Amino acid sequence: VHNIRNLLIGAGRGVTPVLAVTSSAAGSGKTSLTLALGQSFAAGGKRTLLVDCDLRGARLSTVCAHPQPAPEDDDASARASSG
């Protein structure tokens, strides 16, 4: 993973890389690769932001132990802030 990170940094030549890890198959290692690359960039002193855009099967927050609020919690907070 560190070698992949070094290749990406070298290819960017000073430009901040934006990466997308995609696959149509479930269980192909997207979350594992994303987390490993994110940790590698952060360990190398790079500012790192991971965004899980899987609307139906988001796992990154679960793996990182940051649970997402349930949809009904989002509705309740929206009603409270608008009223």
**Residue 62 binned pLDDT confidence (cut-offs 50, 70, 90):** confident
Quote the pLDDT of residue 25.
82
Residue 70 pLDDT more than 80?
no
Please provide the DSSP assignment of 31-66 as one string.
HHHHHHHHHHHHHTT---------TTT--HHHHTT-
**Residue 4 binned pLDDT confidence (cut-offs 50, 70, 90):** confident
Express as a percent the part of the chain with pLDDT over 70.
Answer: 70
pTM: 0.60
